[in-house]
A and B are shown apart, each in its own frame.
Chain A
Amino acid sequence: MTKQIWRVLGWSLVMLLVVEALTGAALAAFYAPSSTDAWASVAYVQDQMPWGWLVRGLHFHAASAIVIISGVHLLQIAVAGTYRERAAAWWIGLVLVLLVLGFAISGYVLRWDQAGYWANRVEVGIAAGTPVVGGLIRSLAIGGNEYGNLTLTRFYTLHVIALPALITAGVVVHIVLAKRARDWSDGLRAAFAMAAVFAVLVGYVVSQHGADLAAPADPSAAFDARPLWYFRWLFELRHLAGSAEKLAAMAAPAVVGGFLVALPLVDKPERQAKRMPWIAGVVGLFALIFVLTIASFVQDSGDADLAKRQAQAEKDASRTRALAVKHGVPATGPLDIKQGIVMYRARSLYEKRCTGCHAATSKDRKGPIIGAGHGNRAWLTAFLKEPSGDAFWGHTKLAKTDDAMKPVELGEGDLADLTELLYAQSGASDVDAARRDRGKVIFDKACTDCHAIEEGVAGASAPGLGGLGSRDWYTSFIGNPKSPVHMGSDHSQMPRFDKDLSIVDRDALADYLVWLRTATQRDVDLLEPL
């Protein structure tokens, strides 16, 4: 009777394998094994498909359940000593455990997130350390010389074709060899057990809202790679072994495996009492693995720096996933996901290269404030009234020299006309032509001693203003502010960017500046954060 109770373990495992097969088939219907699409398709299932998180969660956590129950099953058989009569079933069972671990390794990389990617790099790195054939193993596993599309297609094939075929055959043989009499009470008990295991599984999956998904794989971004929990004992062992870690990584699984394989051959005694050393050996082994696993997690949980990095990684993950939901993932891959943010290229460049000298909030601002409304009528008028005001040239070296522009002293009407002329340079569509023309008359009288306003013409001693505030003008100015058409070599501290930024980048910045002209502070505040 008590022995029969344990049989439910085997049937629960069968049930879990069926869960894996069904959820796996459903996931395969959505999965795209390519380096640009893999993460995106997994994120799509997890975050956008109805019930997708549930299916993915079942698939991921059922694997954990399989490992746990296999462990208990193995331990029970070992303690009971039934492998002595059915050695073949025992051996096949060990092969099945290996296959399950193979599923775990091949499945983890498929998500192509930071966690799966780096874990796989380390795992393959360990395998590549095998003497003589290491390089071959690596190349065979990842499909060539580097991680890429072929890495995914290979692990995918392994995960959904090769391993399932092998495990199906293995399970059938295992069950036949186990030669269990199946009576009705047995079946009923098994059904109850399966239902219970399944209920716990579903409960856990719901509590976790599926399975985690880190930020997309990025070969340039550091990540605290950790293996799946069932490999943590090996991870910890390597850790403890110090310089002998390579030996530990290779030898430990070999010793454990060898011991288990050899058990039916060496453990012969008929009387249960004499089997004690063997039972103790198996139980001790499991206890050791258990302790190492716990130790590994304890070690990590005491590391404050690690916790900080992990919190950051989690933030990155949820941000990227939110962007994927909002904008979709670009066909070039999830590392380009931010390109979906409005004016991302320009704004991130601006943030990095321009705000130091131009942001109102910058502590060592060196130039005019650039913000919402930059270059619109109000801005131009204010500038004309006080060119060396704090918001304009106030922080520049130029303002402290005699070359600085003097305030324009005109009546309101004339000032508005002159403003309109300058405003018209930008090519804005709402120019008042009559005002502009009156402005031109004023300009010719008052400004031409220093400035010019024809396209591309330098002023006598000050910037040419043709095209001022237009997209092309911005691109040209950013490229070389010291050009004679613009500030001239000794009137500007701004560096030239034509060597540093590509024309595409300068154009993007110019677009952003043109946008700012018509934007209000509210528009700027409403922009999606970078």
Chain B
Amino acid sequence: MGDDPDRRKILTCAVGGGLGLVIAVPAARLVLGPTGEQTVTTPTDPLDVGAADRLKVGGPWQKVDVVAPLVKDGWTTARDVVLGAAFVRRTADNQAQALSAVCPHLGCAVGWDGKNFLCPCHDSKFTGDGDAIAGTGPAKRGLDPLPVKIEDGRLRLTWIRYQLDTASRDKA
């Protein structure tokens, strides 16, 4: 009975296919696994970005590195990880403003030339208040404001990454 060539073929296919699936499914699951997952933890609570009296009330923007005290990246945990940069200025004694240095176009880090913000990647330009200057580059919205407050003389900033290249500001 095992000599029937058709049955043999079917059987071989079934066994082979089954074996293949047993390997392929978990492997695919593994490789696709991180998709949509939070593989890198980024803190959602305010981060200390320095002493408030480094900024004069009404003074110019200053760039600060946004550093997370603790970040889990896959299998490692690291202290003092640089998440990105922000520009901060003090508007009143206990009030500050912050703009993310992440360009809303495709995410390069923008610079401040004393008058405007400029993205080095595709030349998007932003006013001193962070609004996109029409006709300069491809950015569809202004620089993203970040929540910042002054507490005990320290600047505390909440780091948020927004979706890129959209006119609206949606969390990434």
Contact = CB atoms under 8 A, between A and B. Distances in A.
Nearest to A122: B106
A265 interface: no
Interface stretch (B1-9, B16-24, B28-36): B28-36
Interface stretch (A14-22, A61-69, A135-143, A472-480): A135-143
Contacts of B38: 144-145
A392 interface: no
Interface residues of A, number: 45
A164 B7 CA distance: 37
Given A122-B108, A144-B38, A242 B82 contact: no
Given A136-B36, A500-B51, A126 B82 contact: no
A143 B37 CA distance: 8
Given A122-B106, A149-B74, A242-B138, A219 B37 contact: no
Nearest to A114: B109
A125 to B, nearest CB: 4
A223 B78 CA distance: 24
B42 interface: yes
B108 A222 contact: yes
Nearest to B51: A500
B163 to A, nearest CB: 8
B143 interface: no
A123 to B, nearest CB: 9
B66 A220 contact: yes
B40 interface: yes
Given A238-B138, A499-B153, A118 B108 contact: yes
Tell me what chain B mostly uses at the interface: helix, strand, loop, or mixed: loop
A219 B109 contact: yes
Given A118-B108, A221-B85, A500-B51, A150 B36 contact: no
Contact of B40 (A36, A146, A239, A309): A146
B151 to A, nearest CB: 12
A256 interface: no
Given A219-B83, A499-B51, 5 more contacts: A126-B106, A139-B37, A140-B35, A220-B101, A239-B122
B47 to A, nearest CB: 13
Contacts of B74: 143-144, 148-150, 153
A365 B73 CA distance: 45
B73 to A, nearest CB: 4
Nearest to A225: B121
Contacts of A154: 34
A245 interface: yes
B60 interface: no
B164 interface: yes
B120 interface: yes
